[in-house]
Amino acid sequence: MATAPQVFDGVTWQEVTPPNLRPSEIPIKPAPALDGSIFVNLAHLKDEARCAQTIQRLFDNAEDKASVFIGLVEHNENNHGRDCLAMYCENAGAGGDKNKHPKTCPRYSQIESLAVFDLGAKGPTVSRALGRKLLGNQEYCMQIDSHSDFVKNWDTVAKSEWKATNNEYGVISAKPANVNEKADYGVGGSKEASVSRSCHVEFNNARLPMFGDATEARNLKEPLLGHGWSAAFSFAKCHLEEAVPYDYFLPQIFQGEEFPRYARMWTRGYDVYTPTRNIVFHDYSQPAAKWKDSQLQRKRAQKRIRTLLQMSEGDLTEKACANLNLYGLGKRRSLEDFYTFLGFDARKHNGGGSVADCANQMWIPYPASTSALENLYTDEADSEMHINPIMPLRTHPVLLFNADAGHLTSKTVKPKGIHELPRVHVPLTLAQEAHVAQEVLQKMEKQLVDRAEESSAPVKMLVGLWVFGIAVW
């Protein structure tokens, strides 16, 4: 049996060869380690029972349980009153009284939760975006699905894999193997040396690019620079969530969720690597639950993705691209280089296929003085557009990039050669966030009143009652 590192591209096995990089063409080295804490973004839609098992497995299989923190976004049915957090606590022996769980439930203080009834769910992209409301000052961030299992000491393994990339902007990601094959992929198993790897891009039914079925890598000695990203398992430093936050304005998107975020990651200087081993496993036994459908929302979201990727069906005006702000492309690398790196150009609708040399790809350098927060388009952006999302619990954001020191810093540093950096989010308290929401409502009220003045008196009365209802709500 072959022991050399190899990648199967869907047709043949390719040998993995070490990259030959000049000193000026290596990634930014990892910043000094902090506390090693991990935030897990976990969202579910009517999947309470498996979600509760996932939380239990996260803690049971972690080596440093005290350093694992969960941000739980729940979409529960409102007819039975059951939720993932309560079921986890009951399974852990805390009893059925939810009011007592804060004191009786194991690791309860390490779980932040946000619940929205299932009728308010708008798809995984929106749910995962809500997870940032629960993100604190953890060092690492991991994203998984609500029906996952893990190798023993997964936290130590994941951090070790990330450190092996020797890249501060590295992301460890792979499509998880089936949980039914966990023993096969474990130590001594028949697939111990194998891990999934993305080698194909294709168009879905809406003509949006997506990563195709995963192929395989085997006998990897170190994480391998890849061409894709999986939303079912992703592990990186938490500044990824500051620079490439989930786009809340993409409701109703499921297939096609991953490709646009990967494009944003890559153009902002983040690199995705296939790990040397399987860390997370997935329960594929049940179909995904459905959220309330809105064709209008989906069409608008699809157009937003096409605008981001500069496809012909999008809005390719400077203003539209600039108004994406932090949800748009970064300035470290170009979209043209991204498509060249992949060997796939979404603008050409060429039907997809294998990416460029799935086994061996050179790391693409970028100016170290350019911040991951810098947007490609800025000049035409509407001034009222908010640059950064609100993360109320993250009181110590990591970015900006310190170009002089060559590493990340929690201090606000203006890199050389940049006239004006994007505004960096200063985390708000919940009261301040409520004030921001109030300002938005007031602006809506003014617009409605202005329109009503041109309408009949009955319309004015209806608008007034509607605004009053919003205020009371």
Listing DSSP states for 3-20 in one string gives -S-EEE-SSSEEE-----
Give every CB contact of residue 215 below 8 A, 6+ residues apart in sequence.
Answer: 7, 8, 9, 10, 196, 197, 198, 199, 200, 358
Closest among 352, 141, 130 to 228, alpha carbons compared:
352
| CA 188 to each of CA 63, 156, 191, 216, 222: distance values in angstroms, whole numbers, following the listed order | 21, 20, 8, 18, 19
pLDDT value of residue 286: 82
Please determine, for residue 182, whether its predicted confidence score (pLDDT) is greater than 60.
yes
pLDDT band at residue 355 under the 50/70/90 scheme: low
Greater confidence (445 vs 367) lies with: 367
pLDDT tens by residue, 241-262: 999 999 999 999 988 899 999 9
Q: How large is the average pLDDT for residues 58-67? A: 98
pLDDT band at residue 209 under the 50/70/90 scheme: very high
Q: How large is the average pLDDT for residues 367-387? A: 82
Closest among 308, 369, 320, 406 to 31, alpha carbons compared:
406
Average confidence score pLDDT of the chain: 84
Please determine, for residue 24, whether its predicted confidence score (pLDDT) is greater than 80.
no
Number of residues that this document lists for the chain: 473
Beta strands of 49-106 (E only): which ranges? 68-75
Greater confidence (411 vs 246) lies with: 246
pLDDT band at residue 105 under the 50/70/90 scheme: very high
What tokens were used for 430? 């919940």
Please determine, for residue 433, whether its predicted confidence score (pLDDT) is greater than 90.
no
pLDDT band at residue 430 under the 50/70/90 scheme: very low
Top mean-pLDDT range of 29-38, 203-212, 397-406 = 29-38
Greater confidence (262 vs 468) lies with: 262
Greater confidence (118 vs 407) lies with: 118
pLDDT band at residue 464 under the 50/70/90 scheme: low
Q: How large is the average pLDDT for residues 150-170? A: 97
Torsion sign, CA atoms 334, 130, 385, 369: negative
pLDDT band at residue 353 under the 50/70/90 scheme: low
Q: How large is the average pLDDT for residues 196-214? A: 91
| CA 29 to each of CA 5, 242, 264, 330, 360: distance values in angstroms, whole numbers, following the listed order | 24, 19, 21, 20, 21
Burial of residue 77 (CB within 10 Å: 0-12, 13-18, 19+) is middle
DSSP state, 447? H
pLDDT band at residue 30 under the 50/70/90 scheme: very high
Q: How large is the average pLDDT for residues 151-157? A: 97
Please determine, for residue 425, whether its predicted confidence score (pLDDT) is greater than 60.
no
Please state the separation of Cα 201 from the chain's center in Å. Answer: 19
Bridge partners of 150? 280
pLDDT band at residue 6 under the 50/70/90 scheme: very high
Which residue type does 91 have?
N
The three-state (H, E, C) secondary structure of 94-154, written as one string: CCCCHHHHHHHCCCHHHEEEEECCHHHCCCHHHHHHHHHHHCCCCCEEEEECCCEEECCCH
Question: In the chain, what's the furthest Cα-to-Cα distance?
Answer: 82
pLDDT band at residue 39 under the 50/70/90 scheme: very high
Greater confidence (194 vs 466) lies with: 194
pLDDT band at residue 389 under the 50/70/90 scheme: confident
pLDDT value of residue 74: 95
pLDDT value of residue 289: 78
Which residue is listed with tokens 């919940």?
Answer: 430
Burial of residue 226 (CB within 10 Å: 0-12, 13-18, 19+) is buried
Please determine, for residue 415, whether its predicted confidence score (pLDDT) is greater than 80.
no
Calpha distance 83→179 (Å, rounded): 23
| CA 138 to each of CA 69, 71, 89, 110, 141: distance values in angstroms, whole numbers, following the listed order | 8, 11, 23, 11, 7
pLDDT value of residue 354: 60
pLDDT value of residue 3: 87
Give yes or no for a contact between 150 and 58, defined as CB atoms under 8 angstroms apart: yes
Task: Compute the C-alpha angle 9/14/18, nearest 5°.
Answer: 120
pTM assigned to the model: 0.84
Residue 162 backbone phi and psi in degrees, to 5: -65, -45
Residue 327 CB: number of other CB atoms within 10 A? Answer: 22
Give yes or no for a contact between 143 and 128, defined as CB atoms under 8 angstroms apart: yes
The three-state (H, E, C) secondary structure of 268-282, written as one string: CCCEEEECCCCCEEE
pLDDT tens by residue, 293-336: 899 999 999 999 999 999 999 999 999 999 999 999 999 999 99
Give yes or no for a contact between 179 and 75, defined as CB atoms under 8 angstroms apart: no
Top mean-pLDDT range of 2-6, 45-49, 349-353 = 45-49
Calpha distance 328→310 (Å, rounded): 11
Calpha distance 174→191 (Å, rounded): 15
What tokens were used for 60? 């049971």
pLDDT tens by residue, 77-98: 875 668 999 999 999 999 999 9
pLDDT value of residue 426: 33
What tokens were used for 132? 């940032």
Beta strands of 261-364 (E only): which ranges? 271-274, 280-282, 353-354
pLDDT value of residue 90: 96
pLDDT value of residue 348: 85
Q: What percent of the chain has pLDDT over 90?
A: 65
